[in-house]
């Protein structure tokens, strides 16, 4: 009897307590929680984009993220290597609505906006899409199938999405111990694997694991984009005025840091 009870508990729990009956929607939510996409964020990063046939792109990035009601606002400052100026923008993501990107136009010296963006649109001239960096929820991946897979002595949850965008499917491998994504494969409508995304160099951030490197490879062209997080803080109090466009306008005109990380405690 004890052996039967033990087997029943194992079948329910799966590896290390994870429940195999979780749906794709629930696993995506668990990934988002592990990546702390619902928390405030103050961070700096370096971005590299290798583009065969074109000049490579390299820039430093600072960002602040907070919620404004149902909307999530993410403020960016990006500075290319060797450039004295920087690009400042604010992404507004509201559930069920297209994305809006406000950006400071250096020539016109005022805010302009691009509305109607999708989660699958490119981010900052890199291979990444907004959803790849969880700047927008990868909602289309919430529908699909889930299975357990073994690889190199480890067991992972693997999600296969239904078709969307120009993908026949997107297959995401998740570490059930941490809930973090490990690898994502993208397939085109002919079933060919065209892109591979990996989450690497897991570090401790506030007592929880976090991937400090996110890499995306185009398996057709050889292009590659990488985000390397330099400093990351979650759950800190961020003054609301840091996201106010008129206040940012004022900081820019005064030559003050438009995305100041120092007030974040």
Residue 260 lies in a domain: no
Residue 209 lies in a domain: yes
Domain interval for residue 40:
16-253
Residue 263 lies in a domain: no
Give one DSSP letter per residue of the chain, joined into a string.
-HHHHHHHHHHHH-GGG--TT--HHHHHHHHHHHTTTTS-EEEEEEEEEE-TTS--EEEEEEEEEEEETTEEEEEEEEEETT-S--EEEEEEE-TTS-EEEEEEETTTTEEEEEEEE-TTSB-TTSS-BGGGGTSS--GGGGSEEEEEEEETTEEEEEEEEPPBTTEEEEEEEE-TTT--EEEEEEEETTS-EEEEEEEEEEEEETTEEEEEEEEEEETTT--EEEEEEEEEEES----GGGG-HHHHHHHHHTT--SS--TT--
165 has a pLDDT exceeding 60: yes
List pLDDT tens digits, range 41-80.
999 999 999 999 899 999 999 999 999 889 999 999 999 9
CATH code for position 136: 2.50.20.10
Residue 60 lies in a domain: yes
- Confidence bin at 223 (pLDDT 50/70/90): very high
Residue 264 lies in a domain: no
Residue 10 lies in a domain: no
């Amino acid at each position: 009897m004890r052996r039967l009870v033990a087997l029943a508990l194992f079948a329910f729990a799966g590896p290390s307590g994870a429940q195999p009956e979780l749906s794709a929607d629930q696993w995506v939510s668990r990934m988002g929680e592990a990546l702390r996409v619902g928390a405030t964020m103050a961070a700096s990063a370096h971005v590299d984009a290798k583009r065969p046939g074109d000049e490579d792109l390299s820039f430093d990035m600072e960002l602040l993220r907070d919620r404004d009601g149902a909307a999530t606002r993410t403020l960016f400052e990006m500075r290319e290597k060797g450039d004295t100026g920087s690009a400042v923008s604010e992404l507004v993501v509201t559930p069920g609505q297209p994305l809006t990107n406000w950006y400071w136009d250096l020539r016109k010296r005022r805010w302009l906006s691009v509305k109607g963006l999708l989660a699958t649109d490119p981010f900052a001239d890199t291979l990444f899409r907004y959803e790849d960096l969880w700047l927008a929820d990868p909602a289309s991946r919430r529908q699909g199938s889930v299975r357990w897979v073994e690889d190199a002595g480890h067991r992972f949850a693997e999600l296969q999405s239904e078709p969307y965008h120009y993908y026949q499917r997107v297959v995401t491998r998740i570490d059930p111990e941490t809930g973090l994504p490990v690898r994502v494969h993208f397939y085109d409508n002919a079933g060919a694997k065209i892109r591979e995304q990996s989450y690497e160099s897991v570090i401790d951030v506030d007592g929880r694991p976090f991937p400090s490197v996110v890499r995306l490879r185009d398996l057709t062209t050889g292009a590659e984009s990488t985000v390397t997080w330099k400093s990351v803080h979650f759950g800190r109090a961020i003054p609301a005025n840091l996201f106010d466009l008129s206040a940012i306008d004022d900081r820019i005109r005064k030559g003050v840091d438009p995305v100041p990380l120092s007030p974040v405690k």
